[in-house]
Amino acid sequence: MMDDYTLPFWIYLGVLTVFVGGAMKKILASHLSAASTLVAWLGATVLVERLWPFCLPAVLLVLLAVCLYYATRSSPLPSALPAHGKAVFITGCDSGFGNVTVKHLDSLGFDVFATVLDLKGDGARELQRTCSPRLTLLQVDITQPQQVQQALLDTKAKLGLKGLWGLVNNAGVCVNFGDAELSLMSNFRGCMEVNFFGTLNVTKSFLPLLRQAKGRIVTISSPAGDQPFPSLAAYGASKAALNLFTNTLRHELEPWGVRVSTILPSSYKTGQSSNHAYWEQQHKELLQSLPPALLEEYGEDYVTETKDLFQSFASQANPDLSPVVHAIVQALLAPQPQARYYAGPGIGLMYFIHSYCPFSISNRFLQKLFVKKKLMPRALRKQSGFDLHLSLHNNNNNNNEEKLK
């Protein structure tokens, strides 16, 4: 039977082998939960069973590839690099990921340079109280070039002839919620200024020190920079620019021995996410700034529902930030750090669906996962009601005509 197959069929088998093998590798590398991994394996098993009578050679090749992959995984991993004596510069440490990471890095023996917006704030005082004398706190707004340059001078003065082992780009903001048409231009610019241009400026400023030490750049980004989350256009656009810059930098710095990694966290309680007053203030400012005609078309209830959904989503976020901290440490100390770390439950599965499923499926997955809106914009509701009324009217006319006949 197999002798009758033509060359195109063997090409098809080769392509199938590459696809299935790549899918299995992605499953194993995506940090999925046990249940998700089981589902993925069952799906692959069904696929193999269906194709078994037609492509036994391809299946055997896939099994061989999986065995080789497991053999590679089971080999002993090189031990982590020592933290003692290594200097790390990390931004955005007033709260959230940055604050927790500083404490952990300090406990491991790193010499930490941490930036805060307010040296007298609660976050800065907590770090001073809990960390060792090795910690250096710097007041820096990364959107202000002069402050970044001053932080560079202060860091150089303390390092002396020693280079900088790690730069952790953590500072970031998410100042918008709502449809792109409803998001203020100031929100788009604000996200870009902090998440992209601020991080870009810090990275370029500290690169000479990082190249000197053949060190690491670790950037906290977001899945919103790779996938179109509804109502996060401003934030997602800034993270998309950041992701592309980081990926490009990884290629350019490889000859210098500088390794570049991106951390992609799931949903966590950080910053203002659990602050009820913050959401109410953002909602109030948005309603006051929208043109009356645009607000009329969308409806105040539509905007309010979006705010409530965001607030509810934030309240259910994970308060345990340790997966992100662990990923940062791995990126700093692993002999061969990964280009990307999926930090938190569900992120690996999300990227697997995004990479291997049809667009319609991944798009619906995002809509069901994130902001589950029930209301349509007011203008569409009116249009829908008008169409329904018109349809009922036409049906009545048709029934009357039938009776006349």
| Model confidence pLDDT, tens digit, residues 145-164 | 999 999 999 999 999 888 99
Model confidence at 55: pLDDT above 60? no
Mean pLDDT calculated for residue range 47-70:
54
- Report long-range pairs for 72-80 (Cβ below 8 Å, ≥24 apart): 73/28, 78/335, 78/336, 79/335, 80/333, 80/334, 80/335
Mean pLDDT calculated for residue range 286-315:
87
Whether the CB-CB separation of 17 and 61 falls below 8 Å is answered with: yes
Confidence band, pLDDT 50/70/90 cuts, at residue 268: confident
Cα distance between residue 129 and residue 131, in whole Å: 6
**Position with higher pLDDT, 35 vs 225:** 225
Mean pLDDT calculated for residue range 283-312:
88
Instruction: Determine which of 37-41, 110-114, 166-170, 255-259 has the lowest per-residue pLDDT on average.
Output: 37-41
Q: What residue has token string 């999986």?
A: 66
How much of the chain exceeds pLDDT 90, in percent?
Answer: 48
Residue type for position 48: V
Mean pLDDT score across all residues of the chain: 81
> Tell me, what's the pLDDT at 354?
80
> Tell me, what's the pLDDT at 158?
95
Tens digits of residue pLDDT in 166-189? 999 999 988 767 899 998 898 899
Residue type for position 254: E
Residue 16 CA, distance from chain mean position = 30
Whether the CB-CB separation of 261 and 339 falls below 8 Å is answered with: yes
Cβ neighbour number for residue 173 with a 10 Å cutoff = 19
Cα distance between residue 349 and residue 36, in whole Å: 7
**Position with higher pLDDT, 190 vs 8:** 190
Instruction: Determine which of 80-94, 198-212, 344-358 has the lowest per-residue pLDDT on average.
Output: 344-358
> Tell me, what's the pLDDT at 384?
72
> Tell me, what's the pLDDT at 389?
47
Q: Collapse the DSSP code of 159 into the 3-class scheme (helix H, G, I; strand E, B; otherwise coil) and give the result.
A: helix
**Position with higher pLDDT, 49 vs 19:** 19
**Domains assigned to the chain:** 2-74 (no CATH), 87-273+319-367 (3.40.50.720)
- Which residue in 19, 1, 94, 10 sits closest to 356, CA to CA? 19
The beta strand positions in 101-237, using DSSP E, are 111-116, 136-139, 166-169, 216-220
Confidence band, pLDDT 50/70/90 cuts, at residue 392: very low
Tens digits of residue pLDDT in 350-361? 888 787 778 777
DSSP assigned state of 336:
S
**Position with higher pLDDT, 98 vs 283:** 98
Confidence band, pLDDT 50/70/90 cuts, at residue 388: very low
DSSP assigned state of 54:
T
Confidence band, pLDDT 50/70/90 cuts, at residue 390: very low
DSSP assigned state of 375:
P
Residues noted as catalytic: 235
Model confidence at 63: pLDDT above 50? yes
Whether the CB-CB separation of 167 and 175 falls below 8 Å is answered with: no
